[in-house]
Amino acid sequence: MSEVQESHSGAVVPRAAERPGVPECELLRAMLRIRCVEETLADLYAEQEMRTPTHFSIGQEAVAVGVCAALRRADVIYSGHRCHAHYLAKGGSLLGMVGELYGREIGTARGRGGSVHLAQPEVGVIASSAILGQTLAVAVGSAWAFAMDHAPRIAVAFFGDGAVEEGIFHESLNFAALHRVPVLFVCENNLYSTHSGLAVRQPAGRSIYERVGAYGITTEHVDGNDVLAVRQAASRAADHCRSGKGPYFLECATYRWREHVGPLWDYDRGYRTKEEVEQWMARCPIKRLTEHCLARGLCTPADVEAWRQEFRREVDAAVATARRSPFPRPEAILEGTY
C-alpha cells in the first residue's frame, strides 16, 4: 500500500502543490477528490464492470472530511454501506477501493468484500458493513479496548439516520455511556432510509441528537454541509473523548443527491421532489467551501480547476490500473475463510 501523507490535522489527503498548508484548501481538496472519484465511478457504473451494489456519498462529503480532519492517524473509524467517503477521508488507498469495486485482486479485500466492505486497518479504516447499525457496536468495542489500555486513541462510528432505529443503536449508546468509552458517534442525517422519509420512521418533535442526550451522552447538531463547522465540532468531540469524558454524539444534517444505491438521479420516482434535491444541491458542501476560500483569497479559481484535473487524472489512472489488473483466481476462493 502506498504511503499516504498526513496533513497538519491528521486527515489524510494528498498535499496541494499549490497553496500547501492552508487548512481550508486541504479540506477543499479532500472533498473535491472524493467527489471526483465518485462522479467518475458513477459514470462508469453503467458499463456493468463494477458488479457490486454501490451507495454513493455524493453531496455528503463534508461529514467524512470534516470528521477525519479532526482525527489522528492512530484513531480508527467504522462505517456502514455508504462508506466510500469515510474510507477515502481517513486515507484509504484509492486504488484499493477502485480495485475492490472492479472485483480485482488488488482491491482492499482482494475482491471478496465489495463496495460496502471497505477497510484498510493500516490507516485506521477497520471495517465497513452492509448491515444497518452493525459496526456501531464494533466501534464502541474498539473504543472500550482503548479505554482499558489508557491509550490516547478514539474510535468513530459513521452511520445514517436509518441505523438509529435499530436496537443495536440503543444498546451501543447505553454501553458507551455506562463505560464512558472514547467513541464518537457520527450520524449523517440525510432524511431518508432508502425511500422512506423520517416522518414515517421516527416520532416527530424530538430530533435524534436530543433523544441521544437522554443517555447522558454529550450531543451536538451541526450543519453537515459546512465542512468547517463539522471539523470544529469533531475536534471538540475528539478532545472530549480523548480526555476521558466519555462518548460524544454528532448529528450532521446533510443530503444524498443520487439514488439510494446506484449512480442514477431519482427525484422523479415519487418519494422526494426535484425541488428538494435542488435546494440541497444549492447547499453543496464543496461549492460552499470554494466560495469561502475564493472570497478570502485562500486560493484562486485556477487552483481549484487544477485540483479537479489532478484528481481526475488520479482516478482515471486508478481505474485504468484496476481494469488492467488480474481478477482473483477461482482456485483461491477459500483463502481467508480461516
Partner 1 sequence: MQRLKYWQAISQGLVQCMERDPAVIITGIGVDDFKGIFGTTRAAFERFGAARVIDIPNCENAFAGIAIGAAAMGKRPVVVHPRNDFMFLAFDQIMNLAAKWKYMYQAKRGVPVVFRGIVGRGWGQGATHSQSLQSVFAHFPGLHVAVPASPADAKGLLVAALREDTPAVLLENRALYELEGDVPEEPVPIPFGKARIVREGTDVTIVGASLMAYEAARAADLLAEHGISAEVIDPRSLRPLDTGTILESLRKTGRLIVADTSWAMYGFSAEVAALAAEHGHACLKAPVRRVTPLDCPAPVSRPLEEAFHPTPMTIVRACLDVLELTATTSRALADVQARFPGPY
Ligand X SMILES: Cc1ncc(C[n+]2csc(CCOP(=O)(O)OP(=O)(O)O)c2C)c(N)n1
Q: Which residues bind ligand X (CB under 6 A)?
A: 81-82, 130-132, 159-163, 190, 192-194, 256, 260
Nearer of residues 33 and 82 to ligand X, judged by Cβ: 82
Please report, as ranges, the residues that interact with partner 1 according to CB under 8 A. Answer: 76, 78, 108-110, 112-113, 117, 119, 121, 126-127, 129, 131, 134-146, 148, 155, 167-168, 171-172, 174-175, 178, 335-338
CB neighbours of residue 205 within 10 Å: 6
218 binds, options partner 1, ligand X, none, Cβ within 5 to 8 A by partner type: none
Residue nearest to ligand X (CB): 160
190 binds, options ligand X, partner 1, none, Cβ within 5 to 8 A by partner type: ligand X
Q: What is the bridge-based pairing of β-strands 183-189 and 196-197? A: unpaired
Nearer of residues 53 and 197 to partner 1, judged by Cβ: 53
Nearer of residues 130 and 145 to ligand X, judged by Cβ: 130
Q: How far is the CA of 178 from the CAs of 76, 160, 252, 301, in angstroms? A: 21, 23, 24, 50
193 binds, options ligand X, partner 1, none, Cβ within 5 to 8 A by partner type: ligand X
264 binds, options ligand X, partner 1, none, Cβ within 5 to 8 A by partner type: none
Closest separation in Å from C-beta 327 to partner 1: 14
Label each residue of the chain as H, E or C.
Answer: CCCCCCCCCCCCCCCCCCCCCCHHHHHHHHHHHHHHHHHHHHHHHCCCCCCCCCCCCCCCHHHHHHHHHCCCCCCEEEECCCCHHHHHHCCCCHHHHHHHHCCCCCCCCCCCCCHHHCCEHHHCEEEECCCCCHHHHHHHHHHHHHHHCCCCCCEEEEEECCHHHCHHHHHHHHHHHHHCCCEEEEEEECCEECCEEHHHCCCCCCCHHHHHHCCCCEEEEEECCCHHHHHHHHHHHHHHHHCCCCCEEEEEECCCCCCCCCCCCCCCCCCCCHHHHHHHHHCCHHHHHHHHHHHCCCCCHHHHHHHHHHHHHHHHHHHHHHHHCCCCCHHHCCCCCC
Nearer of residues 67 and 173 to partner 1, judged by Cβ: 173
Closest separation in Å from C-beta 262 to partner 1: 22
Closest separation in Å from C-beta 112 to partner 1: 6
Closest separation in Å from C-beta 302 to ligand X: 35
108 binds, options ligand X, partner 1, none, Cβ within 5 to 8 A by partner type: partner 1
163 binds, options ligand X, partner 1, none, Cβ within 5 to 8 A by partner type: ligand X
Closest of 55, 77, 213, 86 to residue 143, by C-alpha: 77
Nearer of residues 44 and 157 to partner 1, judged by Cβ: 157
139 binds, options partner 1, ligand X, none, Cβ within 5 to 8 A by partner type: partner 1
194 binds, options ligand X, partner 1, none, Cβ within 5 to 8 A by partner type: ligand X
Closest separation in Å from C-beta 136 to partner 1: 7
Closest separation in Å from C-beta 119 to partner 1: 4
Nearer of residues 16 and 127 to partner 1, judged by Cβ: 127
